[in-house]
Structure 1
Amino acid sequence: MTSIGEALVAHLTARGVDCVFGIPGVHTIELYRGLAASSIRHVTPRHEQGAGFMADGYARTSGKPGVAFVITGPGLTNTLTAMGQARADSVPMLVVSGVNATDSLGKGLGHLHELPDQQALARTVALVSERVECADDLAPALDSAFAPFRSGRPGPTHVEIPLDVAGAEAPQPPLLVPSNGAPPVDAAKIKQAVQMISNARAPVILAGGGTRHAARQLRAFAEKLGAPVVQTVNARGVLFDHPLGIPASPSLTAVRALIEASDLVLAFGTELGQTDYDMYATGVMPQINTLIRVDRCAEQLARHRADLTILGDTAEVLDVLTSQLAAPRANTGGAARAAQTRNAAFDELGPEMRALSEILNAARDAVPNAIFVGDSAYPIYAGNLYYDHDRPGGWFNAATGFGALGYGIPAAIGAAIAEPSARVICISGDGGAQFSLPEMMCAVDENLPITFVIWNNHGYQEIATSMQAVDVTVVGCDPTPPDFEHIANAHEMPFWRCGDDAKAIASALSSATSHDGPTLIEIRAPNVARPGYETSPQ
């Protein structure tokens, strides 16, 4: 016999889980009983929100579900913010929590960590929330929690195990993992799509986050079709430095003009969401004449009008379409249309955002093939508008979708755990970094190859300028940042400080990334809310 906690670890191992992010507590001790003897790596964050963000960064980088173990009550509520970010960006995440003893639930008896209805709270964010009340419930609960990762649009799921259940005896589980539930691609719809594509004279491709692990298939399809490829934030890197690539926001006027002039738009793995396609919140989305949508989620396909929808895995559909198209087409003018749009979009940014985009280019070239993870910070806003990354899936941040501050540092840790051979560059503002600075010590504990870059403009610059733009007196936008050199010293990390000059930043990155473990760079940037703030390199 074994315990339910031990059976849980065995089931997770059988499903390919190799890392769990969690903070042990008295309400999860039994979940840890089998962990030390298993092959699963345990990483200890400093806050449960950090555990969720680490699981998110791990999942985006690896393509596998990120898993977090959290305690009852505050452990789960602390993780809900990270679950919200994962829900918005379709990131597979499993949160396993404790919950009070079964006979106390909902009775308001004043138990430690008690909530009126913890599972109901989880269900406001999770795609699935299951409770394990006996040994026979465990496998079905995990099947239910993992189902959205195999088919449909993924997101966070939740399983809770009561205190009186986790340590109960369970038979050695039969470790049967359900097969992939992806539906077969509809051959009739593929035939219809091929006909529509063949008739198009100026096609355009919209690539969303669903293409981040299908870069090869997307490139082959785009080249055969001769169509420009507009990449949303979560798709950056899938067509790096390619004549057909447009690494610019579809919210920009130049990109909208390309889309609206097209006689056929093919949207792959994108939810057509407001934070990508209407970033300036005008209430107006790009107007599309004829639209084919491909997505793995039927509910998502039903949310926008389309002339044809194809349900299926993006990589598989791209392969099938490419194989059924005629010889490569030379009459679409795709490369010329893409070049014209790139140039117009870059010019549209304005001098400040263009300069920030060039800084990102210099950073990318200084550390090739790195993973760039971002928080809500000025360089990230600029990159989301226009930036071409050199690694598929290597540019992601929390400035779109749910928009949670404090994401960058822990998500970078998750990414580094998932891909230990890659350098990770974490870009945070001084304000956002203060949400999760303690997580840096986790990077030290794990000796991870992360360079934390703090864009220090001494406050919430974006909010200050937004308040000024509508004649609201700036209040609350100047929280004093810590001395980041002292922060680096406290974490025993090498430290560099420079101004916001592209060459200086590239030089600092080259030096910082020559070290094996975590390092810290502070960039002293101009600040509009506090004009006298020191910005010179030190």
Structure 2
Amino acid sequence: MRSLATYLVEILEANGVDTIFGIPGVHTVDLYRGLENSRIRHVTPRHEQGAGFMADGYARVTGKPGVCFIITGPGMTNIVTAMGQAYGDSIPMLVISSVNPVGEMGSGRGHLHELKNQSALVREVSAFSHTILDIHAVEPALARAFSLFAAGRPRPVHIEIPVGLLNSDASFMPAARRFALPQPPAPCPDTGVQIASRLSAAMRPLIVAGGGAIGAASAIRSLAERLGAPVVMTVNARGIVPGDHPLAVPLTGDSAAVMKLLQESDATLALGTEFGPTDFADRLPASGRLPGWLARADLDAEQLMRGLRADLPLLADARLTAEAVLEALPEGSPATAGAAIARAARHEVETAMNPVLSAGLQMLDLLVQTRPDAIVVGDSTQPVYAGCTAFGAPRPASFFCSATGFGTLGYALPAAIGAALGAPDRPVFGVIGDGGLQFTIAEMACATEAKTTIRLIVWNNRGYSEIKSYMINAGVPPVGVDIYTPDFEPIARGFGWRYRKVSSIGDFATAIASPSIHNEVIEIDEAPFTASVAGAGE
């Protein structure tokens, strides 16, 4: 018999799914029966939150949806945090779960894993949550999800299937097929001409790129060079223009320099960005306009009406928009001072950083200078905050983190595992604090099992140092932030990882320059490391 679960796996495989993250349970065993004869790789995390973070990292480096098989009830409550992060960052994630049988759902009688309304819970962190009640509904539900990933604003999708339906007979259903998916919307030709005319006539043209513009990197770089326009990149957009490019402005946070760029530009093109408060430190108005002319292109019609109001809002794909504007631009050398403006903005931000953040930024810069093809996955920790403020990644989707948007902790380790599985030929570095690592430290076992070669940089300040400083500055007694810090060396070795501790920028340079074919923890002692960076600059 060909079961519904087998049929579902066949559809996934036909549509390019090659990896699934999940933890088998009594309610999902039939899904695993479906995996038996497929070519799909299964990866077992140690917690469903880890599954979601792994799917997130995998999706960011491959551009394909990260797929999870999750059990009813506690499995879904565990993965909700990861879905929230992916929702905030517009990451394609497909979560397929079981749910109690029809008649038991929401009965209140206390069935195993029973939730009052599982779909309603998950709906708040997903583009949609769909309950399958009939075999014929499986293909349309999956097609709807893949259509969103292909042509809409990608966000997590949840599909739940009652336990009793998973093993029902689907032999009569047709062979699985690859979906014919819609293409993302393009701007009409005269719109490209209109934007090109505005930008080419501007004295201070500006481009703002968000995570939705990752696929437009080549066109954006050419457009910037043709115009001489600085490119402000949000955290998820870093690398669209390489950090060492004269027109790159990889600055966010509380940067007055970025706000000055926005305020003084007489024509701005924003591509795939929500102008999010965590990228612009709540300095932008909840609604309002810039002094100059603004065009915004986004795949989300509602998002175009949130935050900064555009003179020309476009429901269009970022790449197709950038290419249309580039095609309409006249040839010729730009007469703007864009490179000087970008350089001044970067200098202003970098010189104002405190010693700890400056040390973290120099660490990241050294990492990509030594390993230019590296993928750097960050948590909510001080070097990553420095990276969000002023780190210029060398290529798109090579620096991402959980420090903006939803802002969870424990992300870097499992997301790095997902990235390493999605891009096995590239070096992957996770950057995480000693406190954040304790959220998901068990996933070190998954990395060993999956045979990845991750290097996990642990920034050790023995507690929740950033929150402690925030509490002190706010006049709040620092309670609950001086947590116990374990000895990471035996823990790392116990999970089959290599370990080394560094206390200076020179030791760090040696550590990352050496080749590695094993998972490795590189622990950095914050205080002496920061002092060594300051000393090296004197």
CA displacement, residues 322-358 of structure 1 (integer Å, 9 cap, x when unaligned): 1110013421121121112221221232443223211
Aligned to 1:155: 155
Counterpart Cα distance in 2 of 1:340 and 1:462:
28
1:458-477 map, 5 Å: 458-477=462-481
Counterpart Cα distance in 2 of 1:341 and 1:281:
18
Contact 2:253 2:388 in 1 (8 A): no
1:55-94 map, 5 Å: 55-94=55-94
Deviates more, 1:33-42 or 1:368-377: 33-42
Counterpart Cα distance in 2 of 1:235 and 1:186:
25
Counterpart Cα distance in 2 of 1:199 and 1:306:
18
CA displacement, residues 361-393 of structure 1 (integer Å, 9 cap, x when unaligned): 112223221000011011000111011122221
Cα deviation, residue 282, structure 1: 9.9
Contact 2:217 2:241 in 1 (8 A): yes
1:380-395 map, 5 Å: 380-395=384-399
Counterpart Cα distance in 1 of 2:184 and 2:30:
34
Aligned to 1:533: none
Aligned to 1:185: 187
Contact 2:498 2:518 in 1 (8 A): no
Aligned to 2:3: 3
Residue 492 of structure 2 corresponds to residue 488 of structure 1: yes
Of 477, 483, 500, the residue aligned with 1:479 is 483
CA displacement, residues 16-60 of structure 1 (integer Å, 9 cap, x when unaligned): 111100001110011111212111111110000000000000111
Cα deviation, residue 281, structure 1: 9.5
CA displacement, residues 276-332 of structure 1 (integer Å, 9 cap, x when unaligned): 012689989995522111112222112231001222221121112111100134211
Q: Which AA in structure 2 matches 1:525?
A: E
The residue matched to 2:448 in structure 1 has which SS?
helix
Greater than 4 Å deviation, 4+ residue runs: 279-288
Of 296, 299, 313, the residue aligned with 1:293 is 296
Deviates more, 1:79-88 or 1:193-202: 193-202
Cα deviation, residue 198, structure 1: 2.7
Of 496, 500, 509, the residue aligned with 2:512 is 509
Counterpart Cα distance in 1 of 2:284 and 2:292:
22
Residues 502 and 341 of structure 1: CA distance in aligned 2, closer, same or farther (over 3 Å): same
Contact 2:359 2:383 in 1 (8 A): no
CA displacement, residues 101-144 of structure 1 (integer Å, 9 cap, x when unaligned): 11211211211000011111111211111111121111111122
1:305-316 map, 5 Å: 305-316=309-320
1:313-328 map, 5 Å: 313-328=317-332
Aligned to 1:168: 168
Aligned to 2:28: 28
1:231-270 map, 5 Å: 231-240=233-242, 241-249=244-252, 251-270=254-273
Cα deviation, residue 259, structure 1: 1.8
Aligned Cα root-mean-square deviation (Å): 1.8
Contact 1:260 1:286 in 2 (8 A): no
Cα deviation, residue 186, structure 1: 2.0
CA displacement, residues 191-235 of structure 1 (integer Å, 9 cap, x when unaligned): 321222232111011111112232212111111111011111111
Q: TM-score when scaled to structure 2?
A: 0.94
Contact 1:232 1:250 in 2 (8 A): no
Aligned to 2:362: 358
Contact 1:57 1:414 in 2 (8 A): yes
Aligned to 1:112: 112
Of 421, 434, 437, the residue aligned with 2:441 is 437
Contact 1:223 1:328 in 2 (8 A): no
Counterpart Cα distance in 1 of 2:174 and 2:56:
28
Of 206, 209, 218, the residue aligned with 2:211 is 209
Contact 1:128 1:144 in 2 (8 A): no
Aligned to 1:520: 521
Deviates more, 1:185-194 or 1:265-274: 185-194
Deviates more, 1:18-27 or 1:210-219: 210-219
Cα deviation, residue 411, structure 1: 0.4
Aligned to 1:338: 342
Counterpart Cα distance in 2 of 1:525 and 1:122:
38
Residues 480 and 471 of structure 1: CA distance in aligned 2, closer, same or farther (over 3 Å): same
Aligned to 1:141: 141
Counterpart Cα distance in 1 of 2:282 and 2:485:
28
Deviates more, 1:356-365 or 1:12-21: 356-365
Cα deviation, residue 419, structure 1: 0.4
Residues 288 and 493 of structure 1: CA distance in aligned 2, closer, same or farther (over 3 Å): farther
The residue matched to 1:435 in structure 2 has which SS?
helix
Unaligned runs of 5+ in 1: 528-538
Residues 283 and 352 of structure 1: CA distance in aligned 2, closer, same or farther (over 3 Å): farther
Residues 285 and 521 of structure 1: CA distance in aligned 2, closer, same or farther (over 3 Å): farther
Q: Which AA in structure 2 matches 1:186?
A: C
| Equivalences, count | 524
Q: TM-score when scaled to structure 1?
A: 0.94
Cα deviation, residue 406, structure 1: 0.9
Aligned to 1:230: 232
Contact 2:146 2:181 in 1 (8 A): no
Q: Which AA in structure 2 matches 1:275?
A: T
Counterpart Cα distance in 2 of 1:75 and 1:11:
23
Unaligned runs of 5+ in 2: 529-538
Contact 2:461 2:527 in 1 (8 A): yes
Q: Which AA in structure 1 matches 2:158?
A: H
Counterpart Cα distance in 2 of 1:391 and 1:432:
26
Counterpart Cα distance in 2 of 1:280 and 1:78:
34
The residue matched to 1:95 in structure 2 has which SS?
strand
Residues 29 and 357 of structure 1: CA distance in aligned 2, closer, same or farther (over 3 Å): same
Contact 2:186 2:320 in 1 (8 A): no
The residue matched to 2:513 in structure 1 has which SS?
helix
Counterpart Cα distance in 1 of 2:401 and 2:346:
22
